[in-house]
């Protein structure tokens, strides 16, 4: 019973991170029809930025902020300089481009920061909280993880729902040509979208790194889990991505706890193939086919 609870709790915490990462992928997919496989190394690079700030003797929070800001900038720069020319082109070009970027960022991080495991600080305890005399699998940092993702999602939701910029961004994503006719600078909105997505990716990277080890490859599998979560939710829906992330987190946590942690990625693959075969539009797809 206790193991069941703990597995579920661990899954939810992890699921939150996958949700954030899936959300980052969905934001980009919605606006540019590109799955940004480079999201993982982009997040990794910003985590290393945080590590540099920490190494320089500054506080965790300054490092945290530095990583998020550098995520924002990196996303904008990548969209503007590298991705812009392939937008609207053949999809295979975009795939190859983001993978090329994946390799570049990996290698760059290894050259600049070294190709070894480094420990990353956490601002809160990473030992299980005590509830009624027993230790549960929820850590202080886990609580922070959940809250950080929830707050970020709330802010994003508010941005998209209630602000003019959000409205322009959504219009650019749904119908770029009409948006242009209505005076929206679509290019800027895409850049902003990539920047925000990259920020959310950075957040996921920081949350995975906290109290653990970082390495140029430490986010690689997360991009797979984020992708699976996003596909679970339909790849087009931010809410779907969040729900997909949580479901996947719990599912993988159970696989890890009851079968073996080595098979987590295999389980993710199986889930992905099941979804793509049985419900290609995602778990929550309506009967009506989506545009495009």
Partner 1 sequence: MLTVTDLSAGYGPVRALDGVSFTADRGRVTAVLGANGAGKTTLLRTISGLHRADRGSVELDGSRLDRVAAERMPALGLAHVPEGRGVITELTVEENLRLGGLGRAGRVDPADLERVYTLFPVLADRRAALAHVLSGGERQMLVIARALMARPTMLLLDEPSLGLAPRIVAQIFELLRGLVESESLSVLLVEQNARSALSIAHRGVVLNLGRVVADDDADVLAADDQLRHAYLGF
Partner 2 sequence: MATALRRGRTWWAGSVLGRHLLVALLGLVVVVVVLESASDFRNLQLASMAYLGIAAGGLTVLTGLNGQISLGHGALMAIGAYTTALLLDDRDAGTPLPLVVLAAVAVTLLVGAVVGAAAARLHGPYLAGATLALAVAVPGIALYFKEQLGGEQGLRVVLPDIPTWVLDLAFFVTGQDLTRSRYVACLAWLTLIVTFVLLANLSRTRVGRRWRAVRDDEVAAELAGIRLGRARVSAFVVSAAAAGAAGAMMAITVRLAAPSGFTITLSLTLLTAVVLGGLGSLGGALLGAALLTFLPQVVTDLGVDAGLSDIQAAELAPLVYGLVMVVVVLVAPAGLVGTARTALLRRRLQRAGTGTSTSTSTDTAAPTSTSTTSKGTTT
Binding site for partner 1 (CB under 8 A): 164, 167-168, 170-171, 174-175, 177-186, 291
Q: Are 22 and 244 in contact (CB under 8 A)?
A: yes
**Distance in angstroms (rounded) separating the CA atoms of residues 29 and 204:** 18
The β-bridge partners of 214 are: 118
Which of 262, 289, 291, 292 binds partner 2 (CB under 8 A)? It is: 262
Per-residue x/- marks for partner 2, 25-54, CB under 8 A? Answer: ----x----xx-x-----------------
Q: Among residues 81 and 291, whose Cβ is nearest to partner 1? A: 291
**Least distance to partner 2 from the beta carbon of 262, Å?**
4
**Which is nearer to partner 1, 81 or 162 (by Cβ)?**
162
Give the 3-state DSSP-derived string for the chain, with helices as H, strands as E and coil as C: CHHHHHHHHHHHHHHHHHHHHHHHHHHHHHHHCCCCCCHHHHHHHHHHHHHHHHHCCCCHHHHHHHHHHHHHHHHHHHHHHHHHHHCCCCHHHHHHHHHHHHHHHHHHHHHHHCCCCEECCCCCCCCEEEECCEEEEEEHHHHHHHHHHHHHHHHHHHHHHHCHHHHHHHHHHHCHHHHHHCCCCHHHHHHHHHHHHHHHHHHHHHHHHCCCEECCCCCHHHHHHHHHHHHHCCCCCHHHHHHHHHHHHHHHHHHHHHCCHHHHHHHHHHHHHHHHHHCCCCCCCCCCCCCC
Please select the residue that binds partner 2; options are 5, 8, 77, 217, rule is CB under 8 A.
Answer: 217
Residue 178 near which of partner 2, partner 1, none (CB within 5-8 Å, type-dependent): partner 1
Q: Of the two residues 193 and 201, which places its CB atom closer to partner 1 in the complex?
A: 193
- Residue 110's binding partner among partner 1, partner 2, none (Cβ under 5 to 8 angstroms by kind) is partner 2
Any contact of residue 213 with partner 2 (CB under 8 A)?
no
Q: Kindly state the smallest distance separating residue 19's Cβ from partner 1, in Å.
A: 22
Minimum distance, C-beta of residue 52 to partner 2, in the bound complex (Å): 16
Would the CA dihedral through 127, 129, 133, 137 be positive or negative? Answer: negative
Q: Is 182 in the site for partner 2 (CB under 8 A)?
A: no
Stretch that binds partner 2, among 16-24, 42-50, 92-100, 246-254 (CB under 8 A): 92-100
Touching partner 2, residues 105-164 (CB under 8 A): 105-108, 110-111, 114-115
Smallest distance from partner 2 to CB 217, Å: 8
Q: Does 232 bind partner 2 (CB under 8 A)?
A: no
Residues in touch with partner 2 (CB under 8 A): 29, 34-35, 37, 82, 85-97, 99-108, 110-111, 114-115, 177, 217, 220-221, 223-224, 227-228, 231, 260, 262-266, 268-269, 272-273, 276-277, 280
């Amino acid at each position: 019973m206790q193991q069941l609870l703990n597995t579920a709790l661990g899954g939810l915490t992890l699921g939150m991170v996958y949700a954030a990462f899936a959300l980052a992928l969905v934001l980009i997919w919605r606006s540019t029809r590109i799955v940004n496989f480079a999201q993982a190394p982009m997040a990794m690079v910003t985590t290393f930025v945080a590590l540099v700030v920490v190494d320089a003797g500054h506080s965790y929070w300054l490092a945290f902020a530095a990583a998020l800001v550098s995520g924002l900038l990196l996303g904008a720069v990548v969209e503007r300089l590298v991705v812009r020319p392939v937008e609207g082109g053949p999809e295979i070009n975009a795939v190859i481009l983001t993978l090329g970027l994946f390799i570049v960022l990996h290698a760059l991080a290894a050259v600049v920061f070294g190709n070894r495991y480094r420990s990353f600080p956490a601002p809160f305890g990473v030992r299980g909280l005590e509830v009624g005399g027993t230790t549960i699998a929820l850590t202080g940092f886990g609580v922070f993880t959940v809250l950080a993702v929830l707050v970020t999602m709330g802010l994003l939701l508010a941005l998209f729902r209630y602000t003019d910029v959000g409205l322009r961004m959504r219009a650019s994503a749904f119908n770029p040509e009409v948006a242009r006719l209505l005076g929206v600078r679509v290019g800027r909105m895409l850049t902003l979208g990539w920047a925000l997505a990259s920020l959310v990716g950075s957040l996921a990277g920081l949350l995975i790194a906290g109290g653990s080890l970082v390495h140029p490859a430490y986010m690689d599998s997360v991009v797979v889990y984020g992708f699976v979560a996003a596909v679970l939710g339909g790849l087009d829906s931010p809410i779907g991505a969040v729900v997909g992330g949580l479901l996947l987190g719990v599912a993988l946590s159970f696989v890890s706890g009851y079968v073996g942690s080595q098979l987590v990625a295999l389980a993710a693959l199986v889930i992905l193939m099941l979804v793509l075969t049985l419900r290609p539009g995602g778990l929550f797809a309506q009967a009506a086919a989506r545009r495009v």
